[in-house]
Amino acid sequence: MKMIKSIPTEIRQFLEKEGGSSLFLEGTAGTGKTTLGLQIIEIIGEPDKSFYLSTRVSDQALYNQFPWLEDKEMRAQVMDASKMFLQTIYEEEGEEESSELPESEKQKIESAQEFLSTVREAGPPEEVDRTRLKSLDKKIPGLERTYDRIDKVLPERPLLVIDSIEGITHKYDIDMEEFVTTIQKDLVENSNTNVIMILEAKSRPDLEYLVDGVVQMARYQIENRDVRETRLRKLRAIEIQQPAYLMSLKGGRFKCFEPYELEVMGEREWEPVEAEDGKYSSGTEDLDELLNGGFGAGSYNVFEVKENVSNEEFFSMIRPMFLNFMAQDRGVLAVLTGGTHPENLRRGLTRFIPEETFDKKFRIVEYLQSHSDKPYIMALGGKKGDQFRKSYKEGMESLRGPENKPIIDYVGLDTLEYLQGGEIAVKRLLENVAKTKNTDDVGIGILKPGLNISREIKNMADNYFVIDSINKTPCIYGIKPKTGLYAITTDEEKGTPYIEFKSIV
């Protein structure tokens, strides 16, 4: 499944279902309403059937804000329509009126049309309904021509984006409810038109009952980092499976993120990701960039995992680290976090590396197990003193090999604290971190919520990252070094299990 989409699945389904539909895009300034509206025209609309009605002062204002509209195809699809509307909205009063037919001829035509409508089969309307438009107290320059344009598209389904309702109704001093009702009745219900109406407000419950769908665009902060969200409040006749989506507006484009899923088509072997001298790649190029080239030799790196992060979301981040080390004939020593079963871990990783590589290069420390016939289990339960040191030394020698290669020393800090208690765990951790810093190894600590060890580990870490889940999308941001917020997604080019980071801006 593609994790990054240009339009949420439910909105696409809503606009592609039979008949006309109306949709409010609500949100304060800068939340992405116009970007999404224009992108819906690009993705769903057809060039000669889509129109963008705006109160902006010039086409150039749109080009400046959305450089991707300079694309030739989008010029033809959106900007020509926009330009026509803008010229109409801002044209001088007193434009020469087109000649009208005599009243007697109008009556004959209307009578003939009424008769034909009673004998033809029911189907999409072939002409635009103007009933409500004619009843408006004031004329809106450009709106009548909008109706004319839609009339030429019928019986095919047109798409109209109005940006914004406040701008148009304020300019012409028309009641908003009356305007929305006019659009809903004339164009949506009676003229088979999809209409997207942009509102410059967080929500308008007094108007929402008039339309078929309501989508809210929001922006808030986590740890002083911007988070953008698209909330699906109402989409008539559509099942909303994902009520809110994490989104980004990088490059003036709307992108939303589907929930993370691990999907593998067939078997594939991990291809190592290289790093510069003196560094070890994390297996994720974007993380390497945040780490100034990769994990440093002798560094201790902490990943704080928030309570709402699922095991699969968390492991999507850790999996490449393990795979990349083993694929380069380096070992991993692991004290697993609570809830991680050794067999499940092995099964998940050997989808991308040979089983013999895992058995040779991975050691899972089991403090409660005294014996195991599995080569990847280092059973230390019940062993003390010389016996403990001997078993540990033998395990490490087999893991490092004759060349004494560096390893990842991976510790689930919740397991450490559970087995040894808070004070002893802190002491043992200090010893391990100091030991790591005097080697070429890479220390990785996984910090779960509610641990007494939290404060000490933050101070000891060379690098400190937080993994969070926002609307079922795993995200990461750095405390040391300080970074922005990124969505963790499947690498679009390489596919699973490679991941990449997408900046939330």
Helical (H) or strand (E) element with 445: strand 442-447
Of 216, 449, 434, the closest CA to residue 314 belongs to 449
Residue 335: is its pLDDT beyond 60? yes
- Which whole-number Å values give the CA distances from 408 to 280, 346, 400, 453, in the listed order? 10, 16, 10, 21
How many Cβ atoms sit within 10 Å of the Cβ of residue 127?
Answer: 15
Asked if 18 and 222 count as a contact pair (C-beta separation under 8 A), the reply is no
How many Cβ atoms sit within 10 Å of the Cβ of residue 276?
Answer: 11
Per-residue pLDDT at 120: 43
Confidence of residue 171 (pLDDT cuts 50, 70, 90): confident
Domains 4-92+122-257 and 279-503 share a fold: yes
What are the start-end ranges of the E strands in 138-202?
159-163, 194-199
Domain coordinates of the chain in residue numbers?
4-92+122-257, 279-503
CA-CA distance, 317 to 333, in Å (whole number)?
Answer: 17
Residue 209: is its pLDDT beyond 70? yes
304-313: average pLDDT? 93
How many Cβ atoms sit within 10 Å of the Cβ of residue 350?
Answer: 16
Q: Which residue did the predictor score with more confidence, 358 or 68?
A: 358
279-503 CATH, one of 3.40.50.300, 3.90.480.20, 3.30.360.10, 3.20.20.150: 3.40.50.300
Asked if 220 and 210 count as a contact pair (C-beta separation under 8 A), the reply is no
State the CATH architecture for 4-92+122-257: 3-Layer(aba) Sandwich (3.40)
* Token code pair at residue 163: 């940006």
Confidence of residue 116 (pLDDT cuts 50, 70, 90): very low
Q: pLDDT tens digits, residue range 387-433?
A: 878 888 888 888 999 999 999 999 998 887 787 765 666 677 777 78
The most confident of the ranges 210-214, 378-382, 456-460 is 210-214
Per-residue pLDDT at 424: 64
User: How confident is the prediction for the chain on average, in pLDDT?
Assistant: 86
Whole-prediction pTM: 0.85
Residue at 31: amino acid letter: T
Per-residue pLDDT at 434: 81
Q: pLDDT tens digits, residue range 238-289?
A: 999 999 999 999 988 999 998 877 665 556 799 999 998 889 999 999 999 9
Residue 88: is its pLDDT beyond 70? no
